């Protein structure tokens, strides 16, 4: 009896084992089928692309060690038809860095127009008697990021032409054209002192014709002899910024190592380090604290230089509604401003344009209203707003998200707009030596296939490198591309990867 029970037990166990084998075999066959099907689906989805282009791009993406663990979003289109030629994760939202400026520039041109100018007004609430203005003088800014010290000199000349030699009142700066939020929502605290993270104000000033608004340029050159402090020059020449010079000049074989640090909420800049004798001048741009008062200080200085005496103080405040306009200064046109904005990737210009769009369309110069206007305008340009996350106009935020396919779509649609020549002219040109031609691409892509044939906007923030634009290929085709590399261990490596990819496209 015991043996019979054992036999039944083993027979049932054998049947169960065979059943399990059949189930496992079915699942294994299904798994193999899934693998085989998956193998038929490429990682990238080219549409009517030449096999050679697709193969070369895929190989670069797979083999480059710097892309291991990173994400590459790529969209390539025909510039003539808009047809997608190659796509790799093109619909995945990625951080655009300064490729965000393509969206900002297009929206600004569409909303404001290429002939748009920014105004700066001088007003007064008093009367002039015996060459004395008996009242306050107001400097009202309306967003102009291009005001230089020489422009304040011209404004002072206008006051002098009115016969005013004394101002028996205060000099008041009015920046109420925009709100009083100085930094975009996601700006890193460590960028506070940088020129690309400078405060945004409707009344501001720039040191040079690069128009880095809200900043000063500091030049440091070695002293004449070993042991001397380095010589420091600030542009514009103003006491608004205080320099603490803790530098030393070394022999010619010494190390060049300088650091610049601006105190939080102050305009005291400490320069530390060493500079060898005969070494080149070191230039650094530092964002100031309170750009409104910075502009006001420069204007007061210009008034004094023109022999106009101010008895009161410089203050900030709003202009009375009944104040009389004495003079209005206009900036360069938007089409001209777009050149330093896009070629040099100027963050301040981007944020000012966002606020200006908000002010013009919705009556409020804020990031919130400006981005609403920008989004609405981008819809008209064929962009799907549900695919975007917009946090600023410059791309400095790591929260911004844009798919490569949307950037390539924008670049295609832009060609049909009346303002496209101004837009195209603003893009950096590969290998072009001049700063206002090559911009951020002047030291890149100098080979014969790409030099002068690539017009594109670059972008870099920590772990991110992007580039989007137009390329004229070897066969005479015009192509649009957007390459977005995210999650890079070393974002500086992204540029060489992009250049290789673009060279492959250019060789078609």
What are the residue numbers of the active site? 98, 101, 345
Cis peptide before 350 (omega within 30 of 0): no
Side-chain-facing half-sphere of 194: CA atoms under 13 Å:
12
The 3-state secondary structure of 438-469 reads: HHHHCCCCCCCCCCCCEEEEEEEECCEEEEEE
Closest residue by Cα to residue 431 from 458, 467, 455, 466: 455
The Cα–Cα gap between 12 and 7 comes to 9
Q: How many degrees, rounded to 5, is the angle at CA 268 between CA 262 and CA 273? A: 65
The Cα–Cα gap between 469 and 186 comes to 26
160: which 2 tokens? 């002098």
Contact between 141 and 174 (Cβ < 8 Å):
yes
The Cα–Cα gap between 356 and 350 comes to 10
Alpha helix positions (H), 233-366: 291-305, 334-343, 347-362
Q: How many degrees, rounded to 5, is the angle at CA 436 between CA 256 and CA 328? A: 110
The Cα–Cα gap between 209 and 291 comes to 17
* Other Cβ atoms closer than 10 A to 3: 7
């Amino acid at each position: 009896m015991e043996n019979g029970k054992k036999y039944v037990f083993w027979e049932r166990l054998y049947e169960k084992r065979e059943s399990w084998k059949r189930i496992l075999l079915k699942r294994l066959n299904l798994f193999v089928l899934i693998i085989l099907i998956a193998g038929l689906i490429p990682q990238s989805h080219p549409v009517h692309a030449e096999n050679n282009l697709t193969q070369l791009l895929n190989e670069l993406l797979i083999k480059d060690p710097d892309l291991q663990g990173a994400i590459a979003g790529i969209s390539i289109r025909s510039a003539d038809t808009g047809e997608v030629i190659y796509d790799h994760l093109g619909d995945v939202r990625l951080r655009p860095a300064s490729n965000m400026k393509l969206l900002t520039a297009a929206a600004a041109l569409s909303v404001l127009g290429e002939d748009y100018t920014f105004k700066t007004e001088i007003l007064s609430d008093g009367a002039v008697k015996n060459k004395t203005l008996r009242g306050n003088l107001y400097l009202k800014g309306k967003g102009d990021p291009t005001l230089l010290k020489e422009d304040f000199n011209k404004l002072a000349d206008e006051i002098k032409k009115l016969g005013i030699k004394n101002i028996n009142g205060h000099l008041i700066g009015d920046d109420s054209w925009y709100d009083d939020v100085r930094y975009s929502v996601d700006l890193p605290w460590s960028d506070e002192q940088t020129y690309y993270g400078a405060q945004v104000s409707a009344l501001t000033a720039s040191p040079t014709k690069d128009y880095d608004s809200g900043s000063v340029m500091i030049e440091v050159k070695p002293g004449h002899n070993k042991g001397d402090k380095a010589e420091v020059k600030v542009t514009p020449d103003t006491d608004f910024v205080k320099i603490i010079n803790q530098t030393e000049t070394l022999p010619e074989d010494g190390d060049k190592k300088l650091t610049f640090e601006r105190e939080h909420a102050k305009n005291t800049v400490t320069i530390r380090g060493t500079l060898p004798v005969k070494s080149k001048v070191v230039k650094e741009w530092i964002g100031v604290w309170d750009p409104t008062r910075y502009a006001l200080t420069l204007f007061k200085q210009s008034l004094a230089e023109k022999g106009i005496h101010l008895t009161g103080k410089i203050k900030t405040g709003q202009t009375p509604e009944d104040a009389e306009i004495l003079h209005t200064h206009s900036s360069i046109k938007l089409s001209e401003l777009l050149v330093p904005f896009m070629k040099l990737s100027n963050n301040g210009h981007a944020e000012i344009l966002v606020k200006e769009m908000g002010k013009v369309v919705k009556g409020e110069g804020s990031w919130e209203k400006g981005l609403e206007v920008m989004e609405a305008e981008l819809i008209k340009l064929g962009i799907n707003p549900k695919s975007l996350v917009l946090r600023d106009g410059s791309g400095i935020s790591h929260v911004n998200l844009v798919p490569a396919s949307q950037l390539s779509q924008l670049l295609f649609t832009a060609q049909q707009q009346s303002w496209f020549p101004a837009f195209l002219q603003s893009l950096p040109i590969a290998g072009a030596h001049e700063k206002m031609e090559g911009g951020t691409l002047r030291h890149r892509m100098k080979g014969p296939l790409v030099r002068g044939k690539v017009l594109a906007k670059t972008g870099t923030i920590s772990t991110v490198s992007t580039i989007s634009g137009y390329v004229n290929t070897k066969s005479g085709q015009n192509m649009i591309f957007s390459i977005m590399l995210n999650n890079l261990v070393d974002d500086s490596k992204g540029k060489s990867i992009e250049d290789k990819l673009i060279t492959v496209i250019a060789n078609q």
